[in-house]
Amino acid sequence: LKYCHEQRVPVVPQGGNTGMVGGSVPHRGDEVVLSLSRMNKIHSFDPTNAVIQCQSGCILDNLNEYLRPYGYVMPLDLGSSGSCQIGGNVATNAGGIRFLRYGSLRSNILGLKVVLANGDTIDLLNTLRKDNTGYDLKHLFIGSEGTLGVITDVCVATPMLLANSVTALLGLDYYEDAVAALSAARNKLGESIAAIEYWDSASMRISSTTQLGLGDCRFYLLVEVASNMNLESLEDRMMDFLGMYSKGVLATDEGKKKSLWKLRENIPLALKGMNGHTYKYDVSMSPHLFNQATLMVQHHLAAEYPHAQVFQYGHLADGNLHLNIWSPTFDQEIKNLAESTLYEFLRLHRGSISAEHGIGVLKAKHLNVSKSEKAIATMRNLKFLFDPYNILNPNKVLN
Ligand SMILES: Cc1cc2nc3c(=O)[nH]c(=O)nc-3n(C[C@H](O)[C@H](O)[C@H](O)COP(=O)(O)OP(=O)(O)OC[C@H]3O[C@@H](n4cnc5c(N)ncnc54)[C@H](O)[C@@H]3O)c2cc1C
């Protein structure tokens, strides 16, 4: 980095290269790709403090494997866990299916070591749970997508591995019922809720042909509880919740739980498998707005592009909608219309154009939908302070 800084050579930090917005991909053609893959040492795990310290190139699955014998897990889980790296996770502040239970990755990072654009190292490798000594600099690098520094080491607070879990799938006819089920789940299941995932009938059709005995439903909600309480008590709790609905299935054994989760996990894979092009949007808004946003995009597309299909799924309780549009071939006009409709909706409702995937290169020009002019100007000032020659991931996040 020192050399590249002196020679003004652009550098693209790259982790597992699983990012969804092109942040780890060289874009101009003159960049050095800096792979972190070989920085994959786990330094230590302190069971008294439940903190793991490791290099940033460690693959997420490997960290979970390492922690299992101690009875702990990483506080995040993603579909890409077999190849994404903890450094990439930190650089994107990744979300995923444990967000509801353990909060953002940001809130579980205790310390970082970062190499700046000029080659200087800042050691912020704290393992303390509490530390209020002035500006908390690590937060600038979390979610900075390789534009402010290269993360080389991390300290992560880890939650305990829970012994038992029960999964349920609800079929619902009205969107309002899905939103009401969120509050009902909080009331009935309380602190044992581990995940609440959601998808619509269009997503279900491409994800599975299996008959679940739920009949035709317009919306589906997957609810999981996990705890160290005994399995029977956990099951009773879930049954109490499920009893409020006419269409639901319960899974306690591993095979059935996996098959319910597969319905959700298959959706992006099924979209990928359809011949054609998928336009992917990962947005944040209040959960009661998901269906309204989807219907609005659908309505705008229907008149001119009847072949376009719209799918909604996501992390309902986190307010994170994955809105996907499919068309037989890529069409810039569809993209433009979908984006102008969706982003105007987000602007109106103070939503976010990126819930968990980041900005990268794909969303940089839309940053002003979710950030004010002054906020973007402050971001530019910070970028200049850390990287005056703009060598770190140029044109990413801020274009
Ligand atoms: C099947 C699948 C499922 C996914 N599910 C989710 C999900 O549920 N939630 C979610 O949030 N994301 C998800 N993702 C997106 C992706 O896995 C995450 O963004 C992940 O955190 C990226 O990690 P990575 O190591 O692959 O980083 P990369 O893709 O290599 O890089 C991502 C960004 O971070 C920067 N970067 C990488 N390493 C460093 C470093 N050490 N220091 C500084 N900058 C660095 C890069 O320059 C780039 O800007 C999914 C992706 C796939 C393919």
Per-residue pLDDT of the chain (399 residues; tens, 9 = 90+): 999 999 999 999 999 999 999 999 998 899 999 999 999 999 999 999 999 999 999 999 999 999 999 999 999 999 999 999 999 999 999 999 999 999 999 999 999 999 999 999 999 999 999 999 999 999 999 999 999 999 999 999 999 999 999 999 999 999 999 999 999 999 999 999 999 999 999 999 999 877 677 878 999 999 999 999 999 999 999 999 999 999 999 999 999 999 999 999 999 999 999 999 999 999 999 999 999 999 999 999 999 999 999 999 999 999 999 999 999 999 999 999 999 999 999 999 999 999 999 999 999 999 999 999 999 999 999 999 999 999 999 999 998
Residue (of 284, 266, 264, 282) closest to 274 by Cα position: 266
The answer to whether 337 touches 301, Cβ cutoff 8 Å, is yes
**What pairs with residue 109 in β-bridges?**
156
Asked whether 378 and 388 are in contact (CB, 8 A), the reply is: no
Centre of ligand 1 to C-alpha 315, Å, is 18
Could you tell me the CA-to-CA distances from 209 to 79, 165, 203, 255 in Å, in that order? Answer: 21, 26, 11, 17
Which pair of structure tokens corresponds to residue 176?
């309002």
Distance of CA 104 from the midpoint of ligand 1 (Å) = 15
Q: Tell me what pLDDT residue 212 has.
A: 75
- Which ligand 1 atom sits closest to the C-alpha of 83? 26
DSSP 8-class letter at 105: S
Distance between Cα 58 and ligand 1 center (Å): 13
Q: Who lines ligand 1 at CB under 6 A?
A: 12-20, 23-24, 36, 56, 78-80, 84-85, 87-89, 91-92, 94-96, 145-146, 150-151, 356-357, 360, 393, 396
Enumerate residues 6+ apart whose C-beta is below 8 A from 108: 75, 76, 102, 156, 157, 158
The neighbouring-strand residues paired with 387 are none
If you measure from the C-alpha of residue 14 to the centroid of ligand 1, how many angstroms do you get, rounded to a whole number? 9
Measure the CA–CA gap between 174 and 195, rounded to whole angstroms: 21
For residue 322, the SS3 value is strand
Instruction: Supply the residue whose CA is at minimum distance from atom 27 of ligand 1.
Output: 88
Q: Looking at ligand 1, which atom is closest to the CA of residue 96?
A: 8
Closest CA to 95 of 354, 368, 383, 364: 354
Pocket mutation for ligand 1, best pick of 78, 362, 387 (most atoms within 8 Å of C-beta): 78
- Confidence at residue 211, expressed as pLDDT on a 0 to 100 scale: 67
d(CA 278, CA 202): 14
**CA gap 399, 153 in Å, rounded:** 28
Q: 13 CA to middle of ligand 1, Å?
A: 11
Q: Residue 214's pLDDT is what? A: 83
Cα 248 to ligand 1 centroid, rounded to whole Å: 34
CB-based burial, 180-206: b 16+ in 10 Å, e otherwise: ebbeebeebbeebbbbbbbbbebbbeb
Beta bridge partners of 13: 34
